[in-house]
Amino acid sequence: MSRPITVVTGGSRGIGAATCRRLAADGHDIVLAHIANSAAAEETATAVRAAGARCVTVRADTSDEADVERLFDTAAAELGPVTGLVNNAGVTGPLGGLADATTENLRRVVEVNLLGYLFCCRRAARDMTALGRGAIVNVSSAAATLGSPGEYVHYAATKAATDALTVGLSKELGPAGVRVNGVAPGVIDTGIHAAMGDPDRPVRVASRIPLGRAGEPTEIAGAVAWLLSPDASYTTGTVMRVSGGL
Ligand code: NAP
């Protein structure tokens, strides 16, 4: 079998970067998509290549249809047919109640977290169905079932929609030999908390987590890697919660 070729959106930092490194160690070649932080993307790409994998970085906004098409076109042209997709690029906007959220923030969260996932899944569905094999992992959130009151119910809503996408698409694509699963992290120590205005959140909420701490990005990467691996060959339509019991 040739090496898996896997697109990881939001691969420059946080969970996506840990996933790129883990997949490279597992024998994947990587197409790393990110939106702005080229230095972080290059740092992750360097680590991926050091593990012996091929890696292409593509600057693309996943909420932009043309960018997503260019991302997959570049992947196919530079590395070959895409066999894996990790839909991971996501945003929350500032913490707060829905009554205080701006329309601009609501629109951005829905466009990146939901429309972006749909654009990437649609292209992967077309390419992988033609190939007759493939696997998709949609990074969701424990927020999908917790609802995140007072923090970001709009974000939680996009993650619940992601889980519906995972279940439905797994049924559409199963007959074509394409598996679709999700991973729902709890609180993971990445830069997303600083971006939402609360850098100390992973420490602050630790006492509410049954395992007593926030998770590390590598602990999510392990779940993603398993779902993409041959060990998960009979697993589709599931959302694996990796949340320390939250
Ligand atoms: P992060 O550290 O903030 O990193 C976000 C990544 O997404 C960066 O690589 C960023 O690229 C990229 N990105 C953002 N918007 C993008 C867009 N429109 N198009 C392409 N790339 C974009 O985030 P994270 O904590 O690793 O979160 C990753 C995923 O896990 C998200 O879907 C998030 O909802 C989910 N999640 C996270 C947690 C948590 O506690 N951290 C919990 C549950 C679920 P640049 O580097 O170029 O800016």
Domain 5-242 has CATH 3.40.50.720: yes
243 CB near ligand 1 (under 6 Å): no
**Could you identify the atom of ligand 1 that is nearest to the CA of residue 192?**
3
Rounded distance, CA 18 to CA 218, Å? 5
111, 190, 204, best to mutate for ligand 1 pocket (most atoms within 8 Å of CB): 190
pTM as predicted: 0.98
Q: Are 144 and 153 in contact (CB under 8 A)?
A: no
Distance 14 CA to ligand 1 centre (A): 7
pLDDT in tens, 158-205: 999 999 999 999 999 999 999 999 999 999 999 999 999 999 999 999
Nearest to 151 by CA among 94, 200, 201: 94
Rounded distance, CA 82 to CA 104, Å? 33
Flag whether pLDDT at 40 surpasses 70. yes
Per the annotation, the verdict on 155 as an active-site residue is yes
Lookup result for tokens 């070959």: 80
61 CB near ligand 1 (under 6 Å): yes
pLDDT in tens, 49-77: 999 999 999 999 999 999 999 999 999 99
215 CB near ligand 1 (under 6 Å): no
Average pLDDT for 15-33: 98
Distance 192 CA to ligand 1 centre (A): 7
Q: What is the pLDDT of residue 216?
A: 98
Rounded distance, CA 17 to CA 203, Å? 21
Flag whether pLDDT at 2 surpasses 80. yes
Can you list the positions of beta strands (E) in the chain?
A: 5-9, 29-34, 55-59, 84-87, 134-139, 178-185, 239-242
Q: What is the pLDDT of residue 29?
A: 98
Q: What is the pLDDT of residue 1?
A: 60
Nearest to 235 by CA among 224, 222, 246: 224
In percent, how much of the chain has pLDDT > 70?
Answer: 100
Average pLDDT for 7-14: 98
